[in-house]
Amino acid sequence: MISLDLNFNILTRDLSHYLENQVKVGLFGSGVGLSLVLGFSAAYTCYYLISVAKKPQLISGGKTFCQFLKEQCPVVSETYYPTFWCWESRIQTLLRPFVTAKPGVVYRNELIKAADGGQISVDWFDNDDSLSYPDPTTRPTVLLLPGLTGTSRESYILHMVQQSRDLGYRCVVFNNRGVSGETLLTPRTYCAANTEDLETVIDHIQKTYEAASMMAAGVSMGGMMLANYLGRKGRKTCLKGVIVFSAGWDVFECTASLEKPLDRFIFNSYLTSCLQASVHRHRPVLEKCYDIDHVMKAKTIREFDERFTSIMFGYPTNDDYYRDASPVHKLKSVQVPMLCLNAADDVFSPSHAIPVEAVKQNPHLALLITCHGGHIGFLEGLWPRQSTYMDRVFKQFAKAVIEQGGRLKDLSR
């Protein structure tokens, strides 16, 4: 673990090098300008090290799972140092897609038939060059679920594929219906509450590689769907473990947070337009059952759900849908080891709605809360291009579940 003194020295060294090359001592005709810059920089550094860089809070419902995480995933006990020039929540959230690299990944696409006649697009990264697991029949599988309008090409998904590749594992990315370029065969898309497509994909993977262990990771809405799936299935799942990033635990609180003026302007309107763009692409099949003109006039995610999602999945009201989609109500039924990473400053999942008390009541759950990180941000380092804190948590947990998961077979004791 990096010590406070070491980080202070590194920041001071970088600052001195910058000033040496960029700042003129003669600023304003004297050395006053340099003194001001040095003073401000020193004050900012102290503030950062005292108030921004902090150890995450680890909460678990059982000692066994907590101890397992501390031993096998040392990152849960380490101080998280957000990128010092962009640690604010909204900036982390907005910059992450642009500053993080997109590793080159070649997928093999497969379309799986659904019970209603629709099709589900999944992208396989087979990792046939795996040295650790050369036999594909026993090569561990990591199932990845992107966010609300995400696909297998999102940077955070590509990073997890890269981490899995390094460990020798195979990856399968579950794309929600209609978002990854495939034709929508039936007038149905997706929502956080309905897990039928996810169950179909998990069953398909298990039947394809019966001898291979499998775990899953979900991001944002993908994490909500995974948590809802586990809450419904209990022990009746082949997943050995699950990790969830930046999930919204109470949909009522999430939408209320995103409807605040600034966040509505920055995030809500944009995501609503992305959802509407997906509907527009499949208008010929959807307009037979829904008032698409009315849907396209929605200004917020809540309005979109009232006019489209809740109707599609047969809920009497949108409140009924939001209640069913909120994983917080199903956490008590989860019977598989699940680690959840949330940032306390995530405007998509406000801190007061993070289910701390519910997690404490279930020995299969653990919650890792950082002070900063935003929504799927978790940027760290001077220039956070290659890896994030979220990537490190994923890699350590995936390896622990796949290779040491036997220690987690009975957490109820």
Active site residues: 220, 346, 375
Tokens 């050395």 belong to residue? 31
Report helix, strand or coil for 228: helix
Structure tokens belonging to residue 405: 């998961």
Cα(250)–Cα(263) distance, integer angstroms? 17
311-323: burial string, b at 16+ Cβ within 10 Å, e else: bbbebeebeebbb
Going by C-alpha positions, the residue among 4, 13, 167 that lies closest to residue 78 is 4
Q: How far apart are CA 307 and CA 301, in angstroms?
A: 10
| The 170-175 sheet, strands edge to edge | 57-60, 365-370, 338-343, 239-245, 214-219, 141-145, 170-175, 119-125, 108-113
Q: Decide: residue 104, CB within 10 A, 0-12 exposed, 13-18 middle, 19+ buried.
A: exposed
Rounded to the nearest angstrom, the gap between the alpha carbon of residue 169 and the centroid of all alpha carbons in its chain is 19
**Tokens, residue 59:** 């909460």
CA distance 208 to 268: 39
Cα 286 to Cα 189: distance, rounded to the nearest angstrom: 9
